Amino acid sequence: AARAAALLALPVIFGGWLSGPQSTLDTEGPVAESQRHLFYTTLWVTVVIFVLVASVLAYATIKFRARTSADEHAEPPPQSHGNPLVELTLIGLSVAALVVIAIPTLRGIMYTYDVPEAERAGAYEVTATGFQWWFKFDYPAEEVELPNNAGRAPLTVANELVIPAGRAVRIDLRAYDVIHSFWVPKLAGKVDMIPNRGNHLWLKADRPGYYWGQCAEFCGESHAVMRFRVIALAADEFAAWLENQKHNARDTAAQSAGDNNDTAPAARVQFAAYEKIPRNTPGWSADFDADPLVNWRRQQEPRPAGSPPADAALIARGRALFTEKTCITCHTIRGHHIGGAPFAPDLTHVATRTTIAGGLLENTGANLHRWITDPDGVKPGNKMWRGVGGMSGYTVRDDDNTLDWRTHIAVTAPEAAA
């Protein structure tokens, strides 16, 4: 009975695997779908081989078993060696099975590698770079103006790759330090990101959605928590997101003055940065929705009418912390300051992301506090903890040795009249 129950439970457990956020069997795009087909092709070939071999084994075991004690003590049957017909047949069947698996495998690898000819014209391009332990995404087609007349640069975000749904996206893969691997189980992957070598793949999300990504090549002690997200949006929503992200923080100087009525999209995002994080604030958003795309959209929402004005003193305190302590040594807030380190995530509009710490934690006040005050406990070995150039990230403390997460996040508000 216990065995029967276990057997009955299998489909339930397996069903859970099928629909998990990192399931390769519940696909949402053509590349992952081709890989799923390949998986099932291989599975069925091996199932047939397993059934054949197991049947012969079972037959021999039952047919030639010892039936009596006399059988057990009998002389062994006549021994023979070699049967060319059987051996050639088995070799031939093995080769056939391997060919049946190898041809679609090679086709699948080539298909994963680049956008098919038919979709190339409308393809969107981004660059993904792997770091220990986070992902940087550059949008070469979307330039932003750097502050202090420093020229223009591609739009850069960290750990949340926003793409247009229903459109092929070619992703150039790079690595900053060691080998990583880009993998979004429901969309595409895995292709290695190799230092000093260009690699690429493509993907397409059939419909708007929120997808989990994961580094798939061991890259150091926090490899397992090197995650990211892919958010696929309809064309108009994608364009609106780009527009918001392109605004430099200094465009929203009104926020420093506590102006609650600024209608510029970027200002709304920055207000969101300031206001949005505590999800349980009355009259604001509810707790996490079951649908992560809903949560993501909430993170982009404008500050609601009637909410209290931004606290200019709090923002100033946050800015001072960010710039006078150690964050600014590495991190950039575009339009506000340029951090010095190429290996640190760009924190421009950080509050519009649903996750922090490389896709590991939900972007809540409590998690932000935890991440800043105990980075090594969250993601062992990361550079926030070790510090760079004699600076140590974990020394970020307010003067009274406490750190109010709102103080910190408020620095994503603009420099007044920068």
Residues near ligand CUA (CB under 6 A) are 130, 133, 180, 215, 217-219, 223, 226
Q: What residues does 143 pair with on adjacent strands?
A: 154
| Tokens found for residue 378 | 């969250």
Give the closest residue to 301 by CA, choosing from 319, 282, 279, 318.
279
Q: Report d(CA 31, CA 268) in Å as an integer.
A: 36
Question: Based on CB atoms, which residue is closest to ligand CUA, 211 or 228?
Answer: 228
Query: Which residues have CB under 8 Å from 41's CB, separation 6+?
Result: 100, 101, 104
CB of 192 to ligand CUA, least distance (A): 10
Q: Closer to ligand CUA at the Cβ: 183 or 271?
A: 183
Q: Closest approach of Cβ 19 to ligand CUA, in Å?
A: 25
SS3 310: coil
Q: Nearest CA to 273 among 351, 338, 199, 346?
A: 351
Q: By C-beta, is 219 or 396 nearer to ligand CUA?
A: 219
Strand, coil or helix: 49: helix
CA 126/CA 188 separation, integer angstroms: 15
Integer Cα distance of 112 and 38 in angstroms: 12
* Crossing angle between the packed helical segments 235-246 and 265-275, to the nearest 10 degrees: 80
CB nearer to ligand CUA: pick between 219 and 344: 219
- The minimum distance between CB 180 and ligand CUA, in angstroms, equals 3
Output the smallest distance, CB 236 to ligand CUA, in A: 34
β-bridge partners, 388: 391
Q: Which is nearer to ligand CUA, 217 or 346 (CB)?
A: 217
DSSP assignment letter at 281 = -
CB of 375 to ligand CUA, least distance (A): 17
Residue 257 CB, nearest approach to ligand CUA (Å): 42
| Nearer to ligand CUA among residue 176 and residue 394 (C-beta) | 176
Instruction: Specify the 3-state DSSP secondary structure of 151.
Output: coil
Residue 202 Cβ, how far from ligand CUA at the closest point, in Å?
20
Instruction: Give whichever of 381 and 387 is closer to ligand CUA, judged by the CB atom.
Output: 381
Q: Taking Cα atoms as reference points, which of 298, 405, 274, 296 lies closest to residue 354?
A: 296
Closer to ligand CUA by CB, 132 or 332: give it: 132
**Spatial separation of the C-alpha atoms in residues 128 and 113, rounded to whole Å:** 15
| Least Å from the CB of residue 212 to ligand CUA | 15
* Identity of the residue, 134 or 271, whose beta carbon is nearer to ligand CUA in the bound complex: 134
| Beta bridge pairs of residue 154 | 143
Q: How far is CA 97 from CA 42, 56, 165, in A?
A: 9, 18, 37
Pair of tokens at residue 301: 């929402």
Strand pairing partners for 138? 127, 156
